[in-house]
Each structure stands twice: as C-alpha cells, then as structure tokens.
Structure 1
Amino acid sequence: MASAANQMASSISLANFTKATDLKKRLWFTLGALIVFRLLSYVPLPGVDPTALGLLSQQTSGGVLDFFNSFSGGALKRMSLTALGVMPYITASIVVQLATSLSPQLAAIKKEGESGRMRLNQYTRYGTVALTAIQGYFIAVGLEALGANQGVQAVVLPGMLFRLTAVVSLVGGTMFLMWLGEQITSRGIGNGVSLIIMAGIVANMPTQLINLLNGGRTGSMSTLNIILIISAIVGLVLFICFMELAQRRILIQYPKRQTQRGMQADRSHLPLKLNTAGVIPPIFASSLLLMPLTVSQFAGQKVAGQGWWGDLIITLNQYLQHGSPVYMLLYGAGIIFFSFFYTAVVFNPEETADNLKRHGGFIPGIRPGKNTEVYFDYVLTRITVVGAGYLAIICLVPEYLVSALAIPFYLGGTSLLIVVNVTMDTVTQIQSHLYAQQYGDLIKKARLKGGRLR
C-alpha cells in the first residue's frame, strides 16, 4: 500500500493535469471571477471627480488607509464601487461568530446543521449591509468635504442624493464581491474571500517593485539596501512556509485486532498545526480596525477645525498612523485574540475526545473521555501561544520597519503572510483534485480488468 501511494504521488504531473477536466473548469472559473473583481476596482463611484482623488491620496498618504488600500487592490484610493472590498463581510462574520459563542440562542441555531448554518449566513449578510452602509455614508461625507479648504470639489453635485447614491453603490459592490467569493468557494478552487484579498495585494506588487527599483536608479535607496530588502522578503517567505507546515503530532492507538501476522495494534497520528487559525487572525484584526479608521479618516475631512470634536478625530488619526505604537498595539492584540478564538472554533477538544472514545481510540498513557479532552486542550493552548506569537511577529515587526524605513507597503509581513497562506491552500486543493482524478482512473482500470477476468 505504501509503495502504491508513493508511486501515485510521483506520477502526478502535468500529464494528469490535462486529464482533470473538472479541475480545469474550476481554475478557469476562479480566474474569470478574479478578473471581474479587478475590472470592478476601476469603476468609480457616480458623482465623483476623478481628478480630485489625487488630493485624497496625498492627504491620507502614509496613513493606515494606505495599508488597507492594498487589500482592495487600489480600489479605496480610486474610490471605486469595490472601495471597501470584502472587509465589511469579514467584520460581520466576526460579530456573528462572537455572538454565537456568547448567545445560547445562536449557539442552538449553529447546532441545527445545514439549516442553522444558512440562518447564520443570512445574519452575516444583514450585518454586512449595515456595516457597509455606515462606512459608505462617512466616505460620502468625507468626499464632499475633501479639498474644500483648497478650493477643490471632489464631488460634482454634493448633497443627500450623492450620499444615497454612494451608499447604494458601495453596498452593491461589497455584496457582489461577497457573492463572488462564495461562488469561487463552491465552483472554483480555494477560499473565495481569501483569494479576492490576495488578488488585491498581488495586483499592487508589480507597481511597488518598480518603485523600489526606481529608488535605486534615482539614488534615493542604495543598491545594498535593495538587495537586503529582497533577501529579507525571500527569507520571510521561507520562514512562513516552514511555520505553516509545522505540526505537533499526537500518537493515537486503537485496540489490537487479529491479522495474518498475529495480534497487532493500529496506530495513527493526529496532526495539530502550529498555526491552526491560519491567515484568519490578521484578516479579522485588520477588518475590525478598518471600520473605525474609515469613519475617523473621512469624518475628519468634514469636522476638521470645528471645535473639540474635530480636534479629537484629528488626534485619533495621528495616533493611528501606520506604524504608530497605538496602531501596533491594537493590531497585535487583535491578532493574538483571534488566534485563540478561531483555533477554538476550528478545533473542539471535547468533540474530538468523544469521537476517539466512540471509535475505540486513545492516547497512550491518557484515559479516554475527559482526561483526553483536558490533554488536547493543554497541548492546543501551548502550541497556539507559539502560533499567535509567530503571527504577531510576522505581521508587526515588518510593518514597523516598513513605516520607519519608508519601504513600500507590499513588503509588509501581513501581505506576505496572506499571499503565502492562500497560495499554499490553493495548491493543496489543486493537488487534492489531482489525487482524486488519479484514484478515479485506477478504479476504472480495476473494474475493466475485473470484468475481463469474469
């Protein structure tokens, strides 16, 4: 069996890929959906003067919105229909998951199976509409006030009609991206929402790389610094790959059974990833930060210089600049919290211990049942501490260096973490489809040979 599995693993190549028609359809669908996402990021909001948007990028350049702009592929800077991306949807899903953990009624709905999951998804959609409408309104208000002191009109016809149009357009763009992500997940390859975020990040990389190389050509950055930066990126990618593949393998033993070689015990391993939560904690933490920061950044355009309220918002924006201590503290705390929270959502020690006991499995030296559950929780808590620390270091230290050394934003650890994780997950799913195709061919051949023997 082992030699057959190794032979199959070595035989998976491009030749097998050409035979996987279902996989090719999924890949083409995913590619087409991402192209649609990129095209929508260039469709501006109705009523906005494109020439005045340069002023917006200058006023908020170096701020935290530049960081979130990379997640939307530049759509926030261009004020397109998809300016907010899928961040409101992620924020709404966080709220629903937290509410499910705290509310017994929602927890009961979650246990209803597929029908309960559909109800919770519907609540998430309602929350997405509400959050997008709130952020969209403040964006519209900020656009109306943008450049008023300089005599520049960012909005052609400001007023309630423009605000209503902007809110409806932004809600429609975000809901379409949410639907597009769900279609990619079901009919394409990989997680649709994560792929949309990765596509936005990757879209900005060529431009930022050209800017980095131009810095060496113009003399603003030395050649040695450019080589060090590129080497650091390669090393960071390798480190992320190593940590994402790291596992804590727990030995599981099953009762002895009679075989041709006598009584033998079956043994297997339960792999626990060092970073069980994956790329979810940075995405969740950034999406939660985006909500108040979008409101404060664009509301500050309207109330600037209007008493203590305007001064408070301006002060808040200064403290939440990219790389500032307050921003780093909030971002790091969010990453650590969601590392533990999402790990608890993904892996349930009580359920896993019950399944092992039901099938006769046990951990050597640990009693089945409650003791096994406590052991799982013990191991999972300790490896999650390491995983959360790894995520915080990867996301915060490069982001601080990016801000301190004025390096392009795409070199940040968060962006690299998302790109590497989503790429690895997508490649794994492609390999799974290829394995399924290979096994299907072997089963067909075995049936044909069996028929000839009869």
Structure 2
Amino acid sequence: MFETFRNAWKIDDLRKRLLFTLLILVLFRLGSAIPVPNITADALDSMFEVGSMLNYLNMMSGGNLSNCTIFALGVQPYINATIIVQLLTVAIPYLENLAKEGEQGRRKLNRINNYVGAGIALVLSIGYYFVIRRMGALKYTDGFSGIFSAIVIVLCFTAGAQLVTWMGNQIDQKGIGNGISLLIFAGIVSRWSDVLASVQSMLTLAASGQSQYYIYLPVIVILALVAVVFVVILTNAERRIPVQYAKRVVGRKMYGGQNSYIPIKVNMSGVMPIIFASTLCGIPSLIGGFLPLEEGSFWYVFFHTFNYTSWVYIVVYLLLIIAFNYFYVAIQYNPVDIANQLRKNNGTIPGIRPGKPTSDFIVKTLNKITLIGALFLAIVAVLPIVLGNVTGVSIQLGGTSLLIVVGVALDTGRSLEGYMTSRHHKGFLE
C-alpha cells in the first residue's frame, strides 16, 4: 500500500490533483470555523435533538448549522437543486433534451443547478434567520440594527452555500473524486469526536456500576465493523443481465456477435432514500418542538409519537426508506428505453424476445434488486436506532453517515485506481 502511494505521488498530474483536493478540504474546514456575526450559537443547542430534521441537516453540513458558521447550509441547497432538476427532467422536454446532449448538455444542466441552488440557499437562509430569531439567539432584532443584522446574516448563509458549491465543482475539475461528496465526507469525519463522546459515556456508565455496558461496547464495535463490510459489499454488488448482439455485415466488415451485459447495482439510489425518509419523519417532532403544547393533549401525544427512539418512528422510517428507494430507482431507470436501445443495436437477452418481453423481464429483475437494496438501506439506517434503544446511549455514527463515508471512500479509491491504471502502474488497491 505504501509503495502504491509512493508511485502515485511520483506522477506529477496526480500529485497536483491530490494537493489541490487537500487544499480545498482544508479551506472548507477553515471556513467551518468562521461564525456568522450577531448570533449566539449556544442558544440553539435545544434545536438539534437526535433524530430531528435539523439534526440531519446539521450532519450534512458537518456541524456548521448548529455552530452558525458561514458554511452553515453546506451543500444541501445544491443537492436539493440537483434532485429537483432531475425530477423536472422527466416532465420538461427542454431539460430532458439537455440531459441527452452529452457534455455540453451536462454543463448547461449544471449551470441550471447552480442557479436553482442559489435560490434555495436564499430561501433557506431567510427561513433559518427567523428560526434563530424565534429562539432568541440574535444580538440585534429592533430598528436599523436589526434590519442590517438580518441582511448580513442572510447574505452570509447564502454566499457561504454558493462558495461551498464552487469548491465542490473545483474538485470535480481539478482534483480527485466527487467534490460535493468529499465535502460532506470531510464534515462527517470531522465529527468523530461525537463518536468518542458516546464511547466515553458508555465507559462512564460501566464504571458507575452498570456492568452491562462492558458487554455493550465491544458488541457495538463488532457490529460497526460488520456493518462497514456489509456496506462495502452491497455498494459494489450488481446484477448483470447478459446481452448478446447479433452479427451483421456492413460492406466487407462484420460487426456484432459479441456478448455483453447490463449492470444493475443493488444500491442504485445511494443514500438519498434515507435522507428523504429521515427528513419526513423528523418534521412532526420539529413542528412539535416549536408549538406550546399541553402535556397529555392529543397534539402533544401525536407529535411526540414520532420521537427518534419510538417504535412507531422506526416502522414508519423503514417503510418510507423502501418506498423512496423504489421511487428514486423508477425515475432513474427506464426499462422501455433500454429495451428499445437493445432492439436498435440488434441486442437480445438470451431466452427473452425483443420488445415488450425484454422490458417486462428488466422490470421484474429491477423490482427484485430494488427490494434487496431497499432492505439493505433500511437495515443500515434502523440498526443504530435499535442499538441506541437497547443500550440507552445515542449512536452518533448513524446509517446515513456510514453510507456516505464508505461510498465516498470507495468512489475516491476508484478514481485513483483509474489514474494509476491509465499510467501503467499497479492498481491502487493491489
């Protein structure tokens, strides 16, 4: 491994890309330490309870949201914009045509994503300002000072989100790996102190006489390692549908006749279903936290039913993950289009007739694979909550964080592998 890194460092282009990526990540972490003026962040601690929607947004920003730094919104506006534009691509012909235009079309879509992301960042900044104001965390609220303070805070949040997006795009162009994912990765890794705090809390409970925590701690460590291996295997797993192309003669040359396959990944939707599900499940508890509810009333019971540790929350969370996984795969994968492309290129799946039987076979295979992927995501997401209920200690490194960390690490490893292979060096992981 050390020899491989040494070989990678000897490649001038790769060394520059690695240094540039490291520089951007360092600048991102430095910006994460710059607070927005006129805000008392300590007054917001009660907002970021484990399992709430704001807690997940805080996790995606690397803790910047709770600290009210200039990068508080992180890459969330850009991610939301990307999802919205991707959904609109199915409904708006202009966007659909851009998606089919190759590199030039992708550049235009990326520009649209940036504009939409800026609008979302502005709306979120204004909304977050009013939340901060309601929590009494502002130094100035009245008169000209209050208006000027509001403008400064909103502009800082919006500009910070745009700067983070620009940093991610720069890594895409001049660095290694996916820039947006690497910034999320850096934010999550920077919060490993929370994991250490959970371990210290369990050791403290064990030392106070609750000896069962001496058993819980190694069990959780083993399960965490098993979960990492599980995530790595299923992230790389795919179902390969064999395809055979018929031979055809063009002039004096013969084309086709080769065998290929259609890869269908088990986890095609990545971490998005977990993010959607956790956001929806966190909305009731978030609303309940801002309303003056009388204890024992119907609305008090209703809003607190969706507490992070309740079994109702876990069941609804699991069902939403499965539903969103099917939805996300449905908008990404078009079996009819694949069947038509195979027919145009004289390709067939062995034993399946071209046309509708091919699309039906792909749909059936896709449904089975999607179910496996959905159950995989549900297990990874729900397991930390169940362990927290059993042990009584909050498991800070949740399923979303684990999937992002492992996925980004694998993706970056593949990028380095590609650079090494193209220059006739041994593989990065060999």
TM-score bracket for the superposition, by shorter chain length: 0.7 to 0.9
**Structure 1 position 194 matched with structure 2 position 181:** yes
Match of 1:227 in 2: 218
Gaps of 5+ in 2: 250-255
Q: CA deviation at 1:439?
A: 7.7
Match of 1:107 in 2: 96
**Structure 1 position 271 matched with structure 2 position 258:** no
State the one-letter code of the partner of 2:269: A
Q: In structure 2, do the counterparts of structure 1 residues 189 and 94 end up closer, same or farther at CA, with 3 Å as the change threshold?
A: same
Match of 1:208 in 2: 195
**Partner SS state of residue 268, structure 1:** strand
Does the CA contact (< 8 Å) of 1:92 and 1:128 recur in 2? yes
Q: CA deviation at 1:427?
A: 0.8
Does the CA contact (< 8 Å) of 2:81 and 2:117 recur in 1? yes
Selected match of 1:184 from 151, 156, 171? 171
Match of 1:445 in 2: none
Provide the C-alpha distance between the structure 2 equivalents of 1:233 and 1:167, rounded to a whole number of angstroms. Answer: 39
Deviations 1:202-261 (A, max 9, x none): 111144224413531463672221111111100111111122222222222234699xxx
Selected match of 1:80 from 69, 93, 108? 69
Deviates more, 1:119-128 or 1:189-198: 119-128
Selected match of 1:92 from 81, 97, 106? 81
Match of 1:241 in 2: 232
State the one-letter code of the partner of 2:65: L
Provide the C-alpha distance between the structure 2 equivalents of 1:113 and 1:432, rounded to a whole number of angstroms. Answer: 21
Structure 2 matches for 1:18-417, cutoff 5 A?
18-49=9-40, 53-58=41-46, 60-62=48-50, 64=52, 65-147=54-136, 154-158=137-141, 159-213=146-200, 215-217=202-204, 219=207, 222-255=213-246, 266-286=258-278, 296=287, 300=290, 305=292, 318-324=304-310, 328=314, 331-402=317-388, 405-417=391-403
Deviations 1:180-213 (A, max 9, x none): 1122222222221121112111111144224413
Identity in percent: 35
Q: CA deviation at 1:289?
A: 7.0
**Partner SS state of residue 153, structure 2:** helix
State the one-letter code of the partner of 1:216: L
Q: CA deviation at 1:61?
A: 3.6
Give the TM-score normalised by structure 2: 0.82
Does the CA contact (< 8 Å) of 1:94 and 1:284 recur in 2? no
Gaps of 5+ in 1: 1-9, 148-153, 259-263, 441-454
Provide the C-alpha distance between the structure 2 equivalents of 1:114 and 1:76, rounded to a whole number of angstroms. Answer: 34
Deviates more, 1:90-99 or 1:169-178: 90-99
Provide the C-alpha distance between the structure 1 equivalents of 2:372 and 2:176, rounded to a whole number of angstroms. Answer: 30
Match of 2:253 in 1: none
Deviates more, 1:126-135 or 1:376-385: 126-135
Deviates more, 1:93-102 or 1:196-205: 93-102
Does the CA contact (< 8 Å) of 2:90 and 2:331 recur in 1? no
**Partner SS state of residue 281, structure 1:** helix
State the one-letter code of the partner of 2:188: I
State the one-letter code of the partner of 1:22: D
Q: In structure 2, do the counterparts of structure 1 residues 351 and 389 end up closer, same or farther at CA, with 3 Å as the change threshold?
A: same
Provide the C-alpha distance between the structure 2 equivalents of 1:408 and 1:182, rounded to a whole number of angstroms. Answer: 35
Provide the C-alpha distance between the structure 1 equivalents of 2:173 and 2:17, rounded to a whole number of angstroms. Answer: 9
Does the CA contact (< 8 Å) of 2:281 and 2:317 recur in 1? yes
**Partner SS state of residue 252, structure 1:** strand
Provide the C-alpha distance between the structure 2 equivalents of 1:364 and 1:401, rounded to a whole number of angstroms. Answer: 46
State the one-letter code of the partner of 1:156: K
Aligned pair count reads 408
Provide the C-alpha distance between the structure 2 equivalents of 1:383 and 1:376, rounded to a whole number of angstroms. Answer: 10
Q: In structure 2, do the counterparts of structure 1 residues 122 and 209 end up closer, same or farther at CA, with 3 Å as the change threshold?
A: same
Give the TM-score normalised by structure 1: 0.78
**Partner SS state of residue 424, structure 2:** helix
Q: CA deviation at 1:313?
A: 9.8
**Partner SS state of residue 348, structure 2:** coil
Provide the C-alpha distance between the structure 2 equivalents of 1:320 and 1:173, rounded to a whole number of angstroms. Answer: 32
Deviates more, 1:124-133 or 1:31-40: 124-133
Match of 2:252 in 1: none
Q: CA RMSD in A?
A: 3.5
Provide the C-alpha distance between the structure 1 equivalents of 2:360 and 2:181, rounded to a whole number of angstroms. Answer: 33
